[in-house]
Structure 1
C-alpha cells in the first residue's frame, strides 16, 4: 500500500513527479492562451490569415474582449454599489474606455441608457491587463477590422491642471454648454490642487437671529436692507437740470418758435414713451449708466464692488460672484456696464451684473420642489450685493430690486413674515461674515473683473487669494506654537519637571549649547585665532559700555515691524482682527522703544563695598542660627570655638 503510494509520487529514476504547469491564463480564469496570442499577434498581421487557424485566433480575441468588457462592467457595477451587471454598466464600461469606445463606436447597447454630458477629457480611461495586443481579421466577403488597442497593467485617470481645466471651462461657457462647464468644475471640486473653495464656505448655523445679534456683529439692518441709490439719483437730477438749461439756451440761440418747441417736445416725449413701453426704459438706463461710469468715479467703484440684481438671469457683481462661488453656484459671465451688456447680450434692459449656471435651481423649480440648500444659496447670492456695499461704504445704495425679488420668492413659497425675517437675517449675517473673512479675495476679484478677465481667470484669482490666506493662517498657528515652545523652554527649561525632556534640551541649546557649538565651529575652521577674535568681540559687546546691543535691538524691532507691515497688514481688517490693530501695533512698538530708552539711559549704579554693606544692614543677624563672621569694629574674622 505504501509502495503504491510512493510509486504514484515518483517519476523516472526516482525523481519526483513533475506537477502540471499552470499558465497565466488559467490563473486569471481565462480559457484561451493569452501569452501565445499576444506573441502571435505582435509578430505580424495575423488577421489576414485565411487558413484553418484563423477562426481560432478570432475566437480567442473575441473571448479576450468579452473578458475585458466584463471586468470593466464589473468595476462600474461596484462603483454604483450593485451586485449584478446590467446593460447600463456595460455601456459605461465601453464608453469610458478609449480603445473599446473606438472599437464599438457604432454599436448600440440595448437598455444601456445615455452617458451623462461629460467632457471627453474627464472620462476615466481604465486599462487593465498585462499585454499589448493588435487584432485585425479579414474575411473573403466581409472585411471585419478590429482597431488596435492596448491594455496596460495599472488603471489611470486623466488628471488636468487647474489652469487647463479653467481654460476649458471658459470654452464651454463661450459655447453656452452650462452642463459641461458645471461638470468640469465639480470634477475638480475639493481636490488638492483643484477647486478647493467651490462650495466650501464655512457657514453659520441656520436659526432665528434677532436684530440685537446682528448689531453685536456690527450690522445695522435698517441701513443694509433699505437701500437708496443717492449717487445715481443725483446723476439723474443733474442730467435733467442740464437738459432744461440746454433747452433754454438752444431756445435763445436758435430763436425757436412756440410751434417748433411744441414739435420738439412732442418728439422727445414720443421717444421717452417708446423707450418705456418697448424697452422698459432700457435706452434711458443705458444713457444714464454710461454717463455715471464716465463722470462719477464713486458710482463706477460701487458698481464694480457690488451691483444689484437687475435682470431675469440673476446678474450680480464682485460680491455676488464671490459668494456664489463659495456657496457652490458657478458664475457664467459678468458685465460691468449697460453698454457692455448691450455688446455681449444684445439687451438694452440689462445693467452691470453676473449670470450664473442655475441648472439645478431650474430643475427643482420645474419639479415644484425647492430644497432648503438651494434656497439658502440663492438667498445669499441675492443679498451679497447690498452686503458688500454696506461693508465698503457703511450703507447700501443699490440692491432694492434684489431685496424685493427675494421677498416675492419667499412669500410665493408660502413663508410667513416671521420665517421671511429669519431667512433674510440668517443670509445677511452669513454673507457679512464670509465677506469679512475673504476681504482680500473680494478685492482681488474686483480688480480682475475691472481688467475684463474671463470667468476662469476670476475663479483662479479667488482660489489663489483664499489659498494664500489659509497658508498665512497655518503659518501664524505654527509661529505661535514655536514661540510658545521657545518661551517655555527658555524660562522653565531648568525646572525639575522638565528634566530629561526636549524642553530641557532646548533650554540648554538656547542658553549655552548654540554659542558653544558656534565657538567649536569657528575653532575647527579658523583655529585659535578665530576663537580668540570671537571671545574679544563678546567681551567688547557684553562687558564694556558700547551701543552695539542697542543698535541690534532697534534693528530687530523695526525689521520685525516692517516685515509685519508687508506680510500681515493686507489681512487687516479681517474676520478676527479689526482695523484698530493697525494702530495698536504701532503703539506696541512705541511702548517697546520707550522702555528701551528708559533702560538705556538709566544709571543702575556701581556695586561697591559701601552699598553692599548698606544693603546687608537691612537684614541683621539673629545670633541664633546666623551670626556675624567678623568683628564689626576691627574687621577681624571671629574664631568659632566648639565645646
Structure 2
C-alpha cells in the first residue's frame, strides 16, 4: 500500500527549509517595527495572522486546570516521564514559593514588569530566569513587547536590572492604582467575587504561568532559585485582589507551576537558544525566530 503521508512530510520539510523561514522572517520584521511604534494590537495580530510560520505562538499543550500533581497526570494517562524526579522538582519549586510568600514584602514595582531584583549577579541564572518568562508567555499566546537584561559591568552585590514586559498584562498597572498598600488587601473579605469579573480565568491562568516561568526555569537548570522572587509576590497580590481564598490561591499556584514546568521541560533547546539571543540584546522578533527555529514542534 502506498504511504500517502510521506510526500506531505517531505513537502513540509522542504517548505520549512525555505518558504516558511522567509515568511517568518518577514513577519517578525514587521512585528518589531510595530512594537517599536507602540502598535501593540497590530503586532499581536501580525503574529496570529502568520500562524503557519509562527507555529509556537499560543500552541503549548497544557495540563487540565483540575490537575495539580504528577500523580493526577498519571491517573489521566497523560504522557509523563521520570515521574518521581518531576514530582520532587515540583515540590521543590512550591516550597520555594511558599518560603517567599511567608517573608513577603510590599510590592514596589512599576508598570507591568515581570522582573528579578535581588542579589543574583550570575549572568547565566538571570538570563535563564528572564528567558523562562519570555518563552512561557510566547507559547501561551502572550506576546513579549520589551525586555531588558543589563548584565554588562555588573559587580558583586549589585542589583540586577532585568525584566520582560508583555502585551495584555496592562491590568497590572490598573491594579496598582487600586491597591495602594497591601494592608488594604487584607481588609478584603476572602471568597468575595466582586473583582473576579475584571479578569478572565483564561488571562489569570496565562499570567500565573508566565510569572512563575522565571522561577521554574531556574529550578530546571540549576536545581534551585536565588532571590526574593518579587514576581511571585505580585501573583499573590493579584490573587488577593481577586479575593481568592487561601485554598483557591494555592490551587492556582500549584497548577501554574506544574503546567509551566512541563512546558519548559519539553522545550529545553528553544529555551537555551532564547537565552543566547537575549544575552546578545537581539530584538523581540529575532528572539521569537530563535524559539521557532529550535522548538520541538512535534510536542509543543
TM-score of the aligned structures, taking structure 1 as reference length: 0.32
> CA 1:218–1:211 in 2, change beyond 3 Å: closer, same or farther?
closer
Residue 352 (1) aligns with residue 162 (2): yes
DSSP-derived class of the 1:218 partner: helix
Residue 226 (structure 1) shift: 4.7
Q: 1:363 to 1:328 in 2, by over 3 A?
A: farther
2:238 to 394, 409, 414: 409
After superposition, what is the alpha-carbon deviation per residue over 1:457-479, rounded to whole angstroms, capped at 9, x for unaligned?
1111111111xx336x8xxxxxx
Cα–Cα, structure 1 residues 407 and 186, in superposed 2: closer, same or farther, change >3 Å? same
Q: Does 1:330 align with 2:159?
A: no
The 8 Å contact of residues 69 and 258 in structure 2, kept in 1 or not, is answered as no
Q: Which residue of 1 aligns with 2:133?
A: 320
In the other structure, the counterpart of 2:260 is 431
- Which of the residues 173, 188, 195 maps onto 2:54? 195
Q: 2:290 aligns with which of 440, 447, 461?
A: 461
Q: Is the 8 A contact 2:56 2:297 kept in 1?
A: no
**Residue 45 of structure 2 corresponds to residue 218 of structure 1:** no
Structure 2 unaligned regions, length at least 5: 1-21, 74-82, 98-109, 111-115, 154-158, 179-194
Aligned CA distance change for structure 1 residues 212 and 204 (closer, same or farther; 3 Å): closer
| Offset, 1:323 | 0.2
Instruction: Tell me, in whole angstroms, the C-alpha distance in 2 between the residues paired with 1:304 and 1:203.
Output: 24
Tell me which residue corresponds to 1:450: 279
**Separation of aligned partners in 1, 2:263 and 2:169:** 24
Corresponding residue SS for 1:328: coil
**Match for 2:225 among 396, 421, 442?**
396
**Which of these two proteins has the greater Rg computed from alpha carbons?**
1
In terms of mean alpha carbon deviation, does 351-360 or 448-457 score higher? 351-360
Counterpart residue number, 1:579: none
Q: Which residue of 2 aligns with 1:282?
A: none
Given that residues 334 and 354 in structure 1 are in contact (C-alpha distance below 8 angstroms), is that contact kept between their aligned partners in structure 2? yes
Q: 1:416, 1:369 → 2: CA distance?
A: 17
In the superposition, relative to structure 1, how do residues 170 and 210 fare at CA in structure 2: closer, same or farther (>3 Å)?
closer
| 1:547-604 deviation line (CA, Å, top 9, x unaligned) | xxxxxxxxxxxxxxxxxxxxxxxxxxxx9xxxxxxxxxxxxxxxxxxxxxxxxxxxxx
Map Cα deviations across residues 39-97 of structure 1 (whole Å, 9 max, x no partner).
xxxxxxxxxxxxxxxxxxxxxxxxxxxxxxxxxxxxxxxxxxxxxxxxxxxxxxxxxxx
Structure 1 residues 363, 196: CA separation in 2 closer, same or farther (over 3 Å shift)?
Answer: farther
In the other structure, the counterpart of 1:529 is: none
Using a 3 Å threshold, how does the CA distance of structure 1 residues 418 and 409 change in structure 2: closer, same or farther? same
Cα deviation 1:186-219 (Å, max 9, x = unaligned): 221x3x2x21110010001111525866974333
- Tell me which of 305, 329, 336 is aligned to 2:128: 305
Counterparts in 2 of 1:372 and 1:399: CA distance versus 1, 3 Å: farther
Q: Residues 181-260 of structure 1: matches in 2 within 5 Å?
A: 181-188=43-50, 190=51, 192=52, 194-210=53-69, 216=84, 217-221=86-90, 223-227=92-96
Helix, strand or coil for the counterpart of 1:329?
A: coil
Q: 1:350 to 1:177 in 2, by over 3 A?
A: farther
Kindly report which structure 2 residues correspond to 1:103-122, keeping only aligned pairs within 5 A, or say none: none
Asked whether 1:177 is paired with 2:39, we answer yes
User: How do residues 596-611 of structure 1 correspond to structure 2 at under 5 angstroms?
Assistant: none
Q: 1:364·1:371 contact (CA, 8 Å) conserved in 2?
A: no
In structure 2, do the counterparts of structure 1 residues 218 and 378 end up closer, same or farther at CA, with 3 Å as the change threshold?
same
**Higher relative contact order at CA 8 Å, sep ≥6: structure 1 or structure 2?**
2
2:270 is matched with which residue?
441
1:399 CA drift (Å):
5.5
Q: Deviations over 1:408-445 (max 9, x none)?
A: 21121111111111111111111111111111110111
Aligned to 2:88, the other structure's residue is in SS state coil
Deviation at 1:360, TM superposition (A): 7.3
Q: Is the 8 A contact 1:208 1:422 kept in 2?
A: no
Is 1:226–1:396's contact at 8 Å kept on the other side of the alignment?
A: no
**Alpha-carbon distance between aligned partners in 2 of 1:326 and 1:389, rounded to the nearest angstrom:** 18
1:140 alignment partner in structure 2: none
Q: Residue 383 in 1 paired to residue 212 in 2? A: yes
Matched residue, 1:312: none
